[in-house]
Amino acid sequence: MDELKLADSFDRERSRLRSVAYRIVGSLSDADDAVQEAWIRLQRADAKEIDNLANWLTTVVARICLNILRDRPSHEHEPLGALTPEPIVSSEAGSNPEHEALLADAVGIALQVVLGALSPAERLAFVLHDMFDVQFDQIAALIDRSPEAARQLASRARRRVRGAAPPPDPDLARQRAVVDAYFAAARNGDLEALVAVLDPDIVVRSHGRTGIFELRGAQKVARAAMSARKFAPFVRPALINGTAGVVAFDGDTPFAILAFTVVNDRAVTIDVFNDRELVPQLLRSPAS
């Protein structure tokens, strides 16, 4: 296969590989690095020895991502590395085909948070098997475990995901209605209305450079929202990882991204990214 044909074949796989990588590492920049490194390795390989290019590339990208996860503590000083998972912000018009491909099968922020709490091997096994139908014998070779051990890792991860990251309502309009009601109640100073759109066990996570801080319970979350009600009029609707959310502005400057997970017409999680230096970078990134 000449280099032009090889490049064409790789480009046909690029979107899927980027989706695999983002789900494993939770960072667009790291995902893009993994895909680019896979291309470099493909150029160095003997294409005649590759029976199934898609499987070969998936394996290579997964191995690179596994190394990224294992090496991640050494990258905490990098600016956008301070926000992992890295939210993907887009308009509700859905006009970005690259986003739509990347976020197919919904990979909301709540799910990415749970994936981030897994061990690298658990995360790899769950993502590859449950999201991309990779067989356990192939996963086992990546993590130096037996196929049965890989199966157990994926099963353990699956239980944690089901318990902590329920799938959001599929109807985006219903999601948006809850988000709009939340901010309307905050603007009006209506504590009772705020509590009404929150799950009793809601979790709010604030993502910053020093880690993730949590606030739990509808009453506590509603009171915290009331204390920040001055910003409620200055939010613009957006899709955050494919689900309803907002970007908050201070004048013309975006300073916070809020991602909601809505289940049964109530918010069950709100993930807040409010680093005033990093949020504008996220919105300016080529993937936004």
- Taken in order of first residue, the domains within the chain and their CATH numbers are 3-79+117-164 (1.20.140), 172-284 (3.10.450.50)
Closest of 69, 87, 83, 76 to residue 33, by C-alpha: 69
The residue-averaged pLDDT of 172-184 equals: 95
pLDDT band at residue 288 using 50, 70 and 90 as cut-offs: very low
The residue-averaged pLDDT of 39-45 equals: 93
The residue-averaged pLDDT of 97-115 equals: 70
Q: Which amino acid is at 162?
A: R
- Per-residue pLDDT tens for 219-239? 999 999 998 888 878 999 999
Highest mean pLDDT among 131-140, 162-171, 207-216: 131-140
Q: What's the whole-model pTM score?
A: 0.83
245 or 110, higher pLDDT: 245
Checking if the pLDDT of 138 tops 90, the result is yes
Question: How many CB atoms are located within 10 Å of the residue 272 CB?
Answer: 20
